[in-house]
Structure 1
Amino acid sequence: MMVHEAQDQVRMGLTKKKTKRTSIEIEKVEELDLSGLSLDALPKPPINLGIIHKLDLSNNNLQNIPESLTARLLNLVVLDVHSNQLKTLPNSIGCLSKLKVVNFSGNVIESLPKTFENCRSLEELNANFNKLNKLPDTIGFELINLQKLSVNSNKLAFLPSSISHLTNLRILDVRLNCLRSLPEGLENLINLEILNVSQNFHYLDTLPYSVGLLIALVELDASYNRIKVLPNSIGCLKKLRKLSVEGNPLVSPPMEVVEQSLQAVKEYLSEKMNGTYKSPTKKTWLGKLVRYRTFNGVRTRNHDSEGLDVSEYHSLDCIASPRYNIASPRYNMGMFSPRRLLSPRTYFSR
């Protein structure tokens, strides 16, 4: 788009809305919408950027945002630059001390500038579908007001340990990354309601014990990973209403428990943690004989030393070996009666 055409679009995109704060005071809230205009570059705006509260530059072809532009957006609250070709964010983004919502999903950004941590008013960060391979190490120490952190579909191998200091965080979405593990200390996220770590495929093979200490957690999605054992502490999550663990080679809890219900999973893990879990009794060979009606299996008090009434039984067909030919008169079917099978003597005399 030509520069003069872009400038015309800037004028058209600028809208003024009046919001009544009190019966006397009136404040003008400025919004600049330049989305979907196929912009390759941003022209010099013919307005005072200091009055802009919301800037929408989404769905364009922008490869960068000028440092000088961001530095003058001192009152910006919402910044939307999703679906562009941005490779980096300007360092001057750290000047946006009033910024609460930022969306730069659908770009090719590999890392966030260090100054990004100065946006201490930030409440929502959407960085989905980029090429992020790491987050700033101290992000959790600085963005203390963050409530939603969505960084799915990136290349993150680890999350910084400072994440555990985001005590106001309610949603953490890190699916479709390359996560090897989650940081310890997640129990500090006392307001976290939704945790999605799904589809890290062959990388994530364990969850930390602290996941089960997220007292406000309502939804946990750990599907399609390599997790074999869920931490027993998950049995303590009283507010948990949704648990997704399909696509994992689970051993504990076994899939037959998972398929029953969430409550069954919580009870299983709780019993494992308390040491009160008793594995289901396996059917013995004796039970199999009863099942196949070899004998009635009724326990008695006086019939025989084993306490089993074997007076009524069915013959065992098709029992033969090269050594003992049951067709021979010498080895009639009486030799294969349950009394002989149950006898301590396990061979036949000749």
Structure 2
Amino acid sequence: MTVVRLYEANIKRLPNEIGYLKQTRMLLLYKNDLKELPKDIGTLRRLEFLNLDWNQLQHLPPEIGMLDQLKTLRLRNNCLTSLPKEIGKLKLLESLRVAGNKLTELPDVIGELKCLNELNVFNNRLEQLNVNVCKLTNLRILDIANNRIRELPLEVAELRNLSRFFRNGNPWDNPWTSHYSIPQLLRRLETGKNSKNLWYFKRGFMVIGILAA
């Protein structure tokens, strides 16, 4: 595997010539001072692992969607307020970590990442969990802790492969949302999906409350 290590190098800007590294499969750029990525990042078509943790990125270029071999994308502790819709083109992506940013929502295209088994959005500003996350049936690890989420989509019950679900640190309308084990939580949500006696629905979301058995 061709690995390019440029981490902890006080890099403030990547030159367009980064596009010449076309055989690179792993690119390590964490702990620099990058505020943006050049468009030529999209020419690294063999890239499988990209680590951009601990930079100052404020946005990602649309060309990020051209990295169609990418399996791991790490963007923790940057300044991102949104993810581009082109991220939905990363069909082989297995792990997406964007903890410690300023995201207020996840794009609808998140549901197109069918190979994703890990999604970490810890410590952002999410006010709801995009219901399209519930289409990621291969998801095993989901971290939505330390956000501003008050309710869960009932469709979370479809995530039957979940083995780790971190959700503490949110202002849940009902405390059992964070205290239940994963099997208990999924059963409770499944009951909600099948029940005709839910207390309240709003745009396909449930205000977490007592469900009919």
Query: What TM-score bracket applies, with the shorter chain setting the length?
Result: 0.7 to 0.9
**Displacement, 1:49?**
2.0
Equivalent of residue 189 in structure 1, options 159, 162, 170: 159
Bigger radius of gyration among the two: 1
Structure 2 residue 188 is matched with structure 1 residue 233: yes
Which of 86, 97, 100 is the matching residue for 1:129?
Answer: 100
The equivalent residue for 1:170 is: 140
Instruction: Please name the residue that 2:34 is paired with.
Output: 62
The total of aligned residue pairs comes to 192
**Deviation readout 1:252-277 (Å, 9 max, x if unpaired):** 9xxxxxxxxxxxxxxxxxxx95xxxx
Select the residue among 75, 84, 89 that pairs with 1:118.
89
TM-fit CA distance, 1:232: 7.9
Q: Distance in 2 between matches of 1:55 and 1:134?
A: 27
Note the alpha carbon deviations across 1:190-238, whole angstroms, 9 max, x for none: 11111111011xx3113899x98x9xx47x8xxxxxxxxx89839x9xx
Secondary structure in 1 matching 2:108: coil
> What residue is the counterpart of 2:202 in the other structure?
none
Residues 1-350 of structure 1 correspond to what in structure 2 (within 5 A)? Answer: 29-45=1-17, 48-68=20-40, 70-140=41-111, 142-200=112-170, 203-206=171-174, 217=182, 233=188, 273=213
For structure 1, the 5+ residue unaligned runs are: 1-28, 221-229, 237-251, 253-271, 274-350
SS of the residue 2:154 aligns to? coil
Kindly indicate whether the alpha-carbon contact (under 8 Å) linking 2:85 and 2:109 is maintained by their aligned counterparts in 1: no
Q: CA deviation at 1:180?
A: 1.8
TM-score where L is the length of structure 1: 0.51
Tell me by how many angstroms 1:163 deviates: 1.2
Whichever residue aligns with residue 149 of structure 1, its letter is L
3-state secondary structure, aligned to 2:133: helix
Rounded Cα–Cα distance in structure 2 between residues aligned with 1:232 and 1:51: 46
> In structure 2, how many angstroms separate the alpha carbons of the residues matched to 1:190 and 1:133?
26
CA contact (8 A) 1:182 1:207 kept: no
CA shift for structure 1 position 43: 2.8
Q: Is contact 2:129-2:152 (8 Å) kept? A: yes
- Alpha-carbon distance between aligned partners in 1 of 2:90 and 2:8, rounded to the nearest angstrom: 27
Quick one: distance in 2 between partners of 1:147 and 1:138? 16
The one-letter code sitting in structure 2 at the alignment partner of 1:163 is V
User: Using the alignment, how far apart are the partners of 2:63 and 2:22 within structure 1?
Assistant: 14
In structure 1, C-alpha distance between the alignment counterparts of 2:44 and 2:174, rounded to whole Å: 43
CA distance in 2, matches of 1:186, 1:232: 10
Q: Which has the higher contact order (CA 8 A, sep 6+)?
A: 2
Distance between the aligned counterparts of 2:19 and 2:124, measured in 1?
36
Question: For residue 135 of structure 1, what is the amino acid of its counterpart?
Answer: L
Q: Structure 1 residues 115 and 232, CA, compared in 2 at 3 Å: closer, same or farther?
A: closer
Moved more, 165-174 or 38-47: 38-47
CA–CA distance in structure 2, aligned partners of residues 145 and 47 of structure 1: 26
